[in-house]
Amino acid sequence: MRSLSSTLTAAQKNPLKPLCKLVLTRTGLPTITYVAPTRIIDLQDIEDGHFAKAKVLLDNSDKVLTDLDVRGYTGTVSHGFTTRPTETLRPNADNVVGLGRYPGASPKFNYDEVDDETPDEDVTYVYTDDQGVSYIEDLYDLPASTESGTINRVRVFVRCKADSAGTNRTCVRVHIKTNGTEYDGNEETPTTTYTTFSKEWTTNPQTGSAWTWNEIDALQIGVGLRGGNNLSIIEIRCTQVYVEVESVTDEYDAIQPMKVIAQPDYSAPGLLTCYLSLVGYFNLMQEDKANDSYVEDPTSTDTVKDLFTAVAGATLSVFDHCTAYTVIYDSEDSLIDTFKPKESFTVSRNESRYNVLKRLISWTECVMLMKADGKIHVQVPTIS
């Protein structure tokens, strides 16, 4: 069973039309990618236990596919959705700082006081009690982003409070620097309870264009504070600063790879198409037949694991004419690498390679799976 990312899982509940694509590869030749709806008219795929098959109808109105023979190519079908992942980045270094920090002795950097994932409120913070008209500001560096796609918006958050009542002017604002230019959010008036304030930019304010990931990686975020303007000194505190970057991307999840076994053309009045038929690797192994009978030697020390690897890897003599597949042993039970079948392991002439693999794995508590990497994975199933 495949596990989906959290964004794909959430997108399954989205009413937007799902996505699909087909990637065709062959050693020594360029990779070909077809997506819906620009090339794929219809795609139907089925995974039934170990077996898989797909039927793909492609638009050939431009006749690009007429002379292209993709039989024998490996085809990977993927399904997906347009997702909106949100990445949260927190300060990881001081850039330019002017605010005081609490506690002052350790840590020695302002960013350490405001980088909490869960705000610790008055345990650590940066602050000012300056009564001047100008804001005192901090700017912090950020770690590199790990997302991709088109950036939809950038939102910077600061969590602030006044240490006592009585302030009568705005004392807090979001502060950023991008492409060498500094920008501020709205001026806010804090209370004696911590409140989160934010500023959103759907485009880069310096360029007026969509944000780029290079600009996100170079972005500096921070906060501007000034003390309350009254007879009592009002200290303004900030305990948390972070940015959320929301992007829009097409996210896919691939099923097990297959081979293109047929490519008939189809045409009708006003319609030129190309039709691809694909089957999975276990389907192909079902068609691989032993070229002779085989009986394991009574003195053999080969375990089930040894024999399974040999059959899949086409090193067992009766299957050495077949395609070799790599086996990954993700987890093992107590039998697979200890039980030695000896003469109990036999192969009949014309017996399918798939049936032999299935019989070998049945002597253990493991299961075999074909995954998207094109390798046979053996593992002990998880029972919840």
Whether 77 and 20 have beta carbons less than 8 Å apart is answered as yes
The Cα–Cα gap between 344 and 98 comes to 79
293 in a domain, yes or no? Answer: yes
Whether 42 and 22 have beta carbons less than 8 Å apart is answered as no
Q: Domain check: are 270 and 323 in the same one? A: no
Q: Domain check: are 10 and 39 in the same one? A: yes
166 or 306, higher pLDDT:
306
Q: Domain check: are 94 and 188 in the same one? A: yes
CATH code of residue 182: 2.60.120
Q: Domain check: are 215 and 92 in the same one? A: yes
Q: Domain check: are 216 and 205 in the same one? A: yes
Secondary element (H or E) of residue 78: strand 74-83
The Cα–Cα gap between 148 and 131 comes to 43
Q: Domain check: are 147 and 257 in the same one? A: no
How many domains, in total, are found in the chain? 3
Q: Domain check: are 225 and 311 in the same one? A: no
CATH code of residue 333: 3.55.50.10
CATH code of residue 267: 2.30.300.10
Tens digits of residue pLDDT in 63-72: 889 889 999 9
The Cα–Cα gap between 177 and 184 comes to 9
Q: Domain check: are 74 and 91 in the same one? A: no
Q: What is the DSSP string of 300-317?
A: ----HHHHHHHHHTT-SG
Q: Domain check: are 215 and 104 in the same one? A: yes
Give the structural domain span for 48.
6-83+252-282
From the list 273, 281, 252, the residue with the least C-alpha distance to 74 is 281
The count of other CB atoms within 10 Å of the CB of residue 358 is: 15
Provide the pLDDT for residue 22.
96
Provide the pLDDT for residue 15.
45
183 in a domain, yes or no? Answer: yes
Q: Domain check: are 96 and 65 in the same one? A: no
The Cα–Cα gap between 313 and 378 comes to 14
Tens digits of residue pLDDT in 168-201: 667 899 999 999 999 999 999 898 999 999 999 9
Q: What is the DSSP letter of 114?
A: H
Tens digits of residue pLDDT in 348-368: 999 999 999 999 999 999 999
Q: Domain check: are 105 and 235 in the same one? A: yes
State the residue for tokens 């049945």: 362
Task: Indicate whether 156 pLDDT > 90.
Answer: yes
207 in a domain, yes or no? Answer: yes
pLDDT above 90 as % of the chain: 76
352 in a domain, yes or no? Answer: yes
1 in a domain, yes or no? Answer: no
Q: What is the DSSP letter of 352?
A: B
SS3 218: helix
